[in-house]
A and B are shown apart, each in its own frame.
Chain A
């Protein structure tokens, strides 16, 4: 079951449990949200799982062209032989099963009707997200929260992976604020440049990033000097520009990196 978080001796799977564990370790992105906003987060996550997830599963695992040319080789390349022959097929069957059990059934009697319905729902869900996001940078103002992470998790694969059959991606690309949202998070937290990699452009980007990193480091040194306050504060507030370095290995082998234009 992926994703899996391994911390010392503890192994946790499933996003909800991982987030709960992180919260107990005092890492909480929703620290500044009101109770109502926390409730909204739960509601929108339910919306994503009900309306967007079936179409996402279909695009990746059920749509024959997509599965055969992209998903299967991609996953199989990371799974050791001989599991690579069996696991992708199993995941594909499970995805189809899930779609049919949750969304199939009368009055939709054929797979094409079910597919049409789930894509309609997914497009409606994307429209709703776009309306909710509006012109703000993140869903609850200037600071990213758990909801932003969830939405990004659902949208980024649709946005970035190059599939042969792309009706959902085309719809998403028409919603410019959602595309901008994904790009922002990718540049801030995953250190990928969105536009082409011209060496000059890359250098200035690197220089800017270095300057910003130094500024943030200085600030965090100041904060660390205030020992007492830190010890008393119950949560680590989320930082906008992260100085966290992603493991170099993880970044290079990231499929998003490999397949993005």
Chain B
């Protein structure tokens, strides 16, 4: 029998208006979408130190009962152990495909978001540094954001993205969006009638890219080129986030106007 999902389950992320960055917002929205699709209520709590509270150092994380789980992958496993799953109806080959596409999104979209916000000097100066450390006093805010920038740049160097130019990164984003668009085709969801964690992940990233104001619109233009992807985002937003309490919905503020990030 499925274990009961407690009423007070909470999802932690950074401060929505001032602090959270593009990549973290995308990840958080993906988890929220997934939980909505499973019909599991969760309260979104914004804390400046969410990253440090998380067991893996990454946001978002959920606090359910007396367990704390972070990141979409482990959360999906955790929810499955509690008896809820979106991908049970898929056969083995479809499950393999779903996992492959989720890796594609992580490999290309998430890495591109991280590149843009930590390796593109203009974006770093004008958006990332001011936002990342905003809850903290000087000089802590600068120290924390330089530390994080150093960490991310090290990782980019290790996987070979440090040498890429912004144009190349945007081309990779375009390639990824093209693949997603071709896979989605005219279906409502990636695996036809029912949404899965892949739909949640893709929604999280694409919706955030579409509704976040950066230095230029180049990134969101790449996604807008594919009309079935924008329709997909709108469909999921309408189905799972409309009518939801504005305070606990990440899309609440985003829906009215393009939020400056």
Q: Which of B95, B106, B180 contacts A39 (CB 8 A)?
A: B180
Interface string of B84-116 (1 = CB under 8 A from A): 000000001101110111011011100000000
Say whether B56 contacts A42, CB under 8 Å: no
Q: Least Cβ distance of B125 to chain A in Å?
A: 25
Q: Which of B56, B92, B154, B180 contacts A107 (CB 8 A)?
A: B56
Main secondary structure of the interface of A (DSSP, over half): helix
Interface string of B29-64 (1 = CB under 8 A from A): 000000000000000000000000001110000000
Contacts of B185 in A (CB 8 A): 36
Q: Least Cβ distance of A127 to chain B in Å?
A: 8
Q: Which of A36, A105, A128 contacts B57 (CB 8 A)?
A: A105
* Assembled-state Cα–Cα distance A94/B155 (Å): 12
Question: Which of the candidate stretches A46-54, A73-81, A83-91 sits at the interface with the other chain?
Answer: A46-54
A41 nearest in chain B by CB position: B179
Say whether B155 contacts A101, CB under 8 Å: yes
Is B183 among interface residues, defined by CB-CB distance under 8 A?
yes
Known contacts being A42-B104, A106-B55, is A129 close to B93, with CB within 8 Å?
Answer: no
Q: Which of B99-147 contact A (CB under 8 A)?
A: 99-101, 103-104, 106-108
Of B57, B100, B101, B107, which is in contact with the most chain A CB atoms at under 10 Å from its CB? Answer: B100
Say whether B96 contacts A50, CB under 8 Å: no
Is B248 among interface residues, defined by CB-CB distance under 8 A?
no
Is A134 among interface residues, defined by CB-CB distance under 8 A?
yes
Q: Which of B106, B179, B180 contacts A50 (CB 8 A)?
A: B106
* Assembled-state Cα–Cα distance A107/B97 (Å): 27
Contacts of A98 in B (CB 8 A): 158-159
Is A35 among interface residues, defined by CB-CB distance under 8 A?
yes
Say whether B158 contacts A46, CB under 8 Å: no
Q: Least Cβ distance of A213 to chain B in Å?
A: 36
Contacts of A144 in B (CB 8 A): none
Is A131 among interface residues, defined by CB-CB distance under 8 A?
yes
Say whether B182 contacts A46, CB under 8 Å: no
Say whether A44 contacts B179, CB under 8 Å: no
Interface string of A94-105 (1 = CB under 8 A from B): 100110011001
* Assembled-state Cα–Cα distance A188/B2 (Å): 52
Say whether A132 contacts B175, CB under 8 Å: no
Is B176 among interface residues, defined by CB-CB distance under 8 A?
yes
Q: Least Cβ distance of A8 to chain B in Å?
A: 24
* Assembled-state Cα–Cα distance A35/B93 (Å): 18
Interface string of B160-184 (1 = CB under 8 A from A): 1000000000000001101110110
Known contacts being A43-B101, A98-B159, A102-B158, is A131 close to B96, with CB within 8 Å?
Answer: yes
Is A40 among interface residues, defined by CB-CB distance under 8 A?
yes
* Assembled-state Cα–Cα distance A69/B176 (Å): 40
Q: Which of B101, B108, B159, B179 contacts A102 (CB 8 A)?
A: B159
* Assembled-state Cα–Cα distance A47/B183 (Å): 16
Q: Least Cβ distance of A138 to chain B in Å?
A: 15
Say whether A43 contacts B57, CB under 8 Å: no
Could you list 8 A-B pairs, sorted by A, with CB under 8 Å?
A35-B182, A36-B185, A39-B182, A43-B101, A46-B104, A46-B107, A102-B155, A131-B96
